[in-house]
Amino acid sequence: MGVIVPRFGHTAVERNLVKRRLRNLARTELLPAGTPCDVVLRAAPNAYGASYEVLRAAVQQAMKQLPRCASEEAS
C-alpha cells in the first residue's frame, strides 16, 4: 500500500494532513478487506479541501474496483 500526495501548491502541513487521513483510511478500510493487490492511493487536488467522510467515500468507491484486480491476475 502506498500513498502519493503531490504538492499542488499547498504547504507541508496540509500535505501531511491528507497523507495521515489516507493512511488511516487504508488501515481501516482497505487492509481488513484482505484483497491480494498492491494499492497506491494518489490524492487529487480536491483532496486538500475534502472532509474525512468525503475521503472515506472515495476510498470505498475505489475498493469496489479491487476484486477485479485479484481476478484479472489469476487469469
Per-residue confidence in pLDDT tens, the chain, 75 aa: 899 999 999 999 999 999 999 999 989 988 887 767 788 899 999 999 999 999 999 999 988 877 665 555 554
Number of domains making up the chain: 1
pTM comes to: 0.80
Specify whether the CB–CB gap between 21 and 35 falls below 8 A.
no
Residues spanned by the domain of 47: 2-74
Per-residue pLDDT, 29: 86
Compute the distance between CA of residue 66 and CA of residue 72 in angstroms, rounded to an integer. 10
What burial class does residue 39 get, using C-beta atoms within 10 Å of its C-beta: 0-12 exposed, 13-18 middle, 19+ buried?
Answer: middle
Per-residue pLDDT, 71: 53
Secondary structure (3-state) at 50? coil
Position 56: which residue type? R
